[in-house]
């Protein structure tokens, strides 16, 4: 397309403005002046173009170029090659009148090429520094490949393990969710967004997507304001406080109003109360789906509702592209709304430095900054810390030479792709070291016998026979069981969250040999595994750990790494217990007396989880003692001081995650039975101890009352410091 003559003048003005701007927007007025002046020169079509994001993988190159030239679209997702990114960017810069740079987004969820553990697994490290580093590395690799923007972190609280997307977040707890949200935003964005090795974060899915009924993806959310405020909103607030400059609006409705047309959550809470300065992108097609929700009769009304509510950019769906102009012409949509929306997008582009440096990455950076050995080392470190040891009867683990030969059996023992987990971006199965490969490297091929045993969802007598033959020759059996990567993640909700039939049959047949068995679980969600928990002496929860999955598991199996991870999600005994979370309410009839029918429980299941939130074993033995709470009576402005002595009563050095919980015993709105308020991960040498100190400002002991105001109510509180949500030393304090 040829440039009109006015383009030269325009470019001159733009250049002048650009040269006269400050370094970044946050530094003050100059950026705002630049954007205001730029906006004044834009036509309505050019403005609307900025509000549109196109999926390159869905439309292809020719169409993509057409969208730029004809509709001035401002953003693409899923452009996978730097060459294509460059082509599109140059088209926008050189062949459109305004030359506003495009912003390229991608789902960089747990690594770009160097794939780290799935976020749920990483959260089990309770180590925000390591989590931040994963996000930092992901940003370096992604930006080297031309990406400006990641659709992460997923900060949805997930209390129902049937929901496949539980894999993508930090689990069921809001406090931990906030800590991890901040860490990930810091990692992606660094402390200077205009640095071309950082990318802009996008906390998602705003909001309450994790509260979908029945754990069914995309399902209805019917939620009390208190739960929305107390449980689901805080991780978004935390991410925004940490500097996140975009937010993704969710697919679900909230109490009848879809999240992608929800003026209350988007405009009132996010933009007005929290002062969010960046922009909101809808989830994929979520604006167009307002019609299917039954919220609006057609796409034109969908576009009107969404933009009015505060969705700034539409990801696919084409409702904005086809309708916004008409809506402004008819006066239904004030141009002022379009302007403020465009400004938010230009602001983020400006903060990213795209007006100065629109094309990220280079051949050299890609060569030097992809799958670097430092990145791979980090992948192993975080994978090791993400593993949770669930059971270790009679200290079966760690294994040593006396356990050789080892039989490695199971449908996931040699798998590579499943270890990547869902959303593995540019990760490749060939980058992954499987458990079989890592074991061969660690103990030598001759000490290992391998058989698949069965497929995840298919049974064969022949496979079983081979597995039994192999198992009979071995001294110890390692069974690798769980889920394929497709069984969790988006659209991966399951009605039964146990192991599949074939895997259970295999496990039962193997245990009949009466040999020591270790189960290694590979999965994207908590599993209901009561039989395994009862009958298998050692269980390692390894989740989906990315490219260094195999080595990390083998490190734990042989004690080269002492496991230190703790669960950030409760494991159920049966699927029917879901949603299951430790910080539930007390009810008037909590289950306390076995045999009493009239309590809040099921008649066919013992109450409580199989493995609770915060739980995880170590090869060390930690003893908690000397809990001290000071003062016992506090004023609202005070800070509570809590100390506890943790002794490592073993010969093995180890790390312990010390957790602090409280309960507000009586309040104007009932409070959870326990709430995590702080934690510390401490390293303790054999037979030594550490005094762990917590400082808890009384202001953090409040909650949102019936008017949704954060208040600390006077009264008695219980406190626990322990190794999980189900154990610990107990104390009390009072707020006057
Ligand atoms: C839909 C998913 O819900 C969202 O998490 C993702 O970022 C977008 N698709 C883009 O791939």
* 490 CA to centre of ligand 1 in angstroms: 8
Confirm or reject: Cβ of 204 under 6 Å from ligand 1: yes
Would 529 be classed as within a structural domain? yes
Where in the sequence is the domain holding 663, given as residue range(s)? Answer: 622-735
CATH number of residue 649's parent domain: 2.60.40.10
Q: d(Cα 200, Cα 179) in Å, to the nearest integer? A: 18
* 477 CA to centre of ligand 1 in angstroms: 40
Confirm or reject: Cβ of 206 under 6 Å from ligand 1: no
Could you give the number of structural domains in the chain? 2
Confirm or reject: Cβ of 284 under 6 Å from ligand 1: yes
* pLDDT of 31: 79
Task: State the pTM of this model.
Answer: 0.96
Same structural domain, 553 and 694: no
Q: d(Cα 329, Cα 310) in Å, to the nearest integer? A: 20
- The full DSSP string for 664-726 is ESS-SS--BS-EEEEEEEEEE-TT-EEEEEEEEEGGGG-EE-TTS-EEPPPEEEEEEEESSTT
From the alpha carbon of 204, which atom of ligand 1 is closest? 5
Instruction: Return all residues near 380 (Cβ < 8 A) that are at least 6 apart.
Output: 548, 551, 552, 555
Same structural domain, 404 and 501: yes
Helices (H), 72-127: 82-95, 119-123
Same structural domain, 573 and 626: no
* 364 CA to centre of ligand 1 in angstroms: 30
Same structural domain, 498 and 643: no
Same structural domain, 560 and 684: no
Instruction: Return all residues near 461 (Cβ < 8 A) that are at least 6 apart.
Output: none
* Residue closest by Cα to atom 4 of ligand 1: 283
Q: d(Cα 564, Cα 656) in Å, to the nearest integer? A: 6
Q: Where are the beta strands (DSSP E) in 78-196?
A: 103-106, 149-150
* 492 CA to centre of ligand 1 in angstroms: 13
Which run of H or E residues covers position 505? helix 501-511
Same structural domain, 660 and 719: yes
Q: Are 474 and 454 in contact (CB under 8 A)?
A: no
Let me know if 129 is exposed, middle or buried by CB neighbors in 10 A (0-12, 13-18, 19+): exposed
Same structural domain, 412 and 491: yes
* 236 CA to centre of ligand 1 in angstroms: 17
From the alpha carbon of 250, which atom of ligand 1 is closest? 3
Mark which of 557, 577, 597 sits at the end of a domain: 577
Distances (CA, A) of 613 to 278, 279, 585, 592, 616: 34, 35, 15, 20, 9
Confirm or reject: Cβ of 423 under 6 Å from ligand 1: no
Active-site residue among 107, 160, 283, 664? Answer: 283
Would 589 be classed as within a structural domain? no
Would 146 be classed as within a structural domain? no
**In 3-state terms, what secondary structure has residue 283?**
coil
CATH number of residue 497's parent domain: 3.40.50.1700
- Location of structure tokens 């997930």: 158
- Backbone phi, psi, residue 664, to 5°: -80, 110
Measured in whole angstroms, the distance separating CA 623 from the mean position of its chain's CA atoms is 32
Would 180 be classed as within a structural domain? no
- List the one residue out of 350, 332, 488 whose CA is nearest residue 421: 488
Q: Are 643 and 691 in contact (CB under 8 A)?
A: yes
Same structural domain, 473 and 405: yes
Same structural domain, 628 and 489: no
Determine whether 283 is an active site residue.
yes
Distances (CA, A) of 16 to 20, 47, 89, 234, 370: 6, 21, 21, 42, 37
* Mutation probe of ligand 1 site: the residue of 58, 217, 250, 284 with most atoms within 8 A of C-beta: 284
**In 3-state terms, what secondary structure has residue 525?**
coil
* β-strands 246-249, 279-282 pairing: parallel
Residues of the chain with pLDDT under 70: 1-30
Distances (CA, A) of 63 to 107, 146, 325: 22, 20, 21
């Amino acid at each position: 397309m040829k440039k009109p003559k006015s383009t030269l003048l325009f470019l001159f003005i733009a250049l002048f403005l650009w040269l006269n701007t400050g370094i970044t927007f946050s530094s003050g007025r100059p950026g705002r002046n630049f954007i205001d002046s730029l906006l004044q020169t834009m036509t309505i079509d050019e403005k609307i173009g900025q509000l549109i994001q196109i999926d390159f993988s869905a439309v292809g190159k020719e169409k993509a170029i057409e969208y730029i030239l004809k509709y001035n679209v401002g953003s693409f997702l899923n452009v996978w090659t730097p060459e294509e990114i460059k082509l599109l960017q140059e088209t926008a810069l050189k062949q459109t009148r305004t030359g506003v740079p495009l912003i390229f987004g991608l789902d960089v969820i747990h690594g770009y090429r160097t794939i780290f553990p799935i976020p749920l697994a990483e959260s089990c490290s309770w180590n925000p520094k390591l989590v931040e580093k994963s996000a930092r590395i992901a940003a370096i690799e992604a930006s080297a490949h031309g990406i400006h923007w990641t659709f992460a972190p997923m900060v949805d609280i997930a209390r129902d393990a049937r929901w496949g997307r539980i894999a993508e977040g930090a689990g069921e707890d809001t406090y931990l969710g906030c800590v991890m949200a901040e860490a990930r935003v810091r990692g992606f964005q660094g402390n200077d967004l205009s640095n071309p090795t950082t990318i802009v974060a996008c906390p998602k899915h705003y909001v309450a997507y994790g509260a979908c009924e029945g754990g069914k993806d995309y399902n209805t959310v019917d939620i009390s304001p208190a739960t929305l405020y107390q449980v689901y909103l805080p991780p978004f607030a935390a991410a925004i406080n940490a500097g996140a400059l975009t937010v993704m609006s969710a697919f679900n409705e909230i109490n009848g109003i879809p999240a992608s047309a929800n003026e209350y959550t988007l405009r009132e809470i996010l933009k007005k109360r929290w002062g969010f300065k960046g922009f909101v992108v809808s989830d994929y097609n979520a604006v167009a789906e307002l019609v299917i929700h039954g919220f609006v009769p057609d796409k034109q009304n969908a576009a009107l509702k969404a933009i009015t509510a505060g969705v700034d950019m539409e990801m696919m769906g084409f409702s904005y592209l086809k309708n916004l102009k008409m809506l402004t012409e008819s006066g239904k949509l004030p141009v002022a709304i379009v302007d403020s929306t465009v400004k938010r997008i230009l602001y983020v582009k400006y903060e990213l430095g795209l007006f100065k440096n629109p094309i990220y990455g280079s051949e050299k950076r890609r060569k030097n900054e992809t799958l670097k050995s430092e990145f791979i080392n980090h992948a192993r470190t975080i994978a090791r810390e993400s593993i949770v040891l669930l059971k270790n009867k009679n200290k079966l683990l760690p294994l040593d030479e006396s356990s050789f030969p080892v039989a490695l059996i199971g449908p996931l023992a040699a798998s590579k792709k499943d270890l990547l987990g869902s959303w593995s971006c540019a990760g490749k199965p060939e980058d992954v070291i499987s458990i079989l490969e890592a074991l061969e490297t660690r103990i030598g091929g001759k000490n290992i016998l391998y058989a698949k045993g069965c497929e995840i969802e298919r049974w064969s007598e022949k496979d079983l026979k081979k597995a039994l033959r192999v198992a009979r020759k071995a001294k110890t059996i390692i069974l690798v069981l769980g889920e394929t990567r497709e069984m969790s993640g988006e659209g991966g909700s399951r009605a039964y969250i146990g192991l599949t039939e074939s895997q259970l049959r295999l496990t039962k047949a193997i245990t009949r040999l009466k040999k020591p068995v270790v189960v290694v679980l590979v999965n994207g969600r908590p599993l209901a595994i009561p039989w395994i928990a009862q009958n298998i002496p050692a269980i390692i929860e390894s989740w989906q750990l990315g490219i260094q999955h195999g080595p990390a598991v083998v490190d734990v199996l042989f004690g080269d790494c002492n496991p230190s991870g703790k669960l950030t999600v409760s494991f159920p005994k049966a699927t029917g217990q879901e949603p299951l979370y430790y910080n539930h309410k007390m009810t008037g009839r909590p289950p306390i007396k076995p045999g009493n029918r009239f309590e809040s429980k099921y008649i066919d299941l013992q109450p409580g989880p199989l493995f609770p939130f915060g739980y995880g074993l170590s090869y060390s033995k930690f003893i908690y003692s000397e809990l001290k709470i000071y003062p016992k009576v506090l004023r609202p402005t005070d800070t509570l001081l809590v100390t506890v002595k943790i002794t490592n009563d073993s010969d093995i050095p180890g790390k312990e995650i010390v957790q602090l919980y409280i309960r507000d015993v009586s309040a104007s709105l009932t409070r959870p039975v326990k709430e995590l308020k702080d934690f510390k991960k401490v390293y303790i040498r054999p037979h030594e101890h550490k005094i762990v100190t917590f400082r808890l400002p009384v202001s953090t002991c409040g909650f949102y009352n019936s008017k949704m105001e954060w208040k600390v109510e006077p009264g008695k509180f219980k406190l626990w410091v322990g190794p999980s949500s189900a154990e610990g030393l107990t104390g009390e304090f009072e707020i006057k």
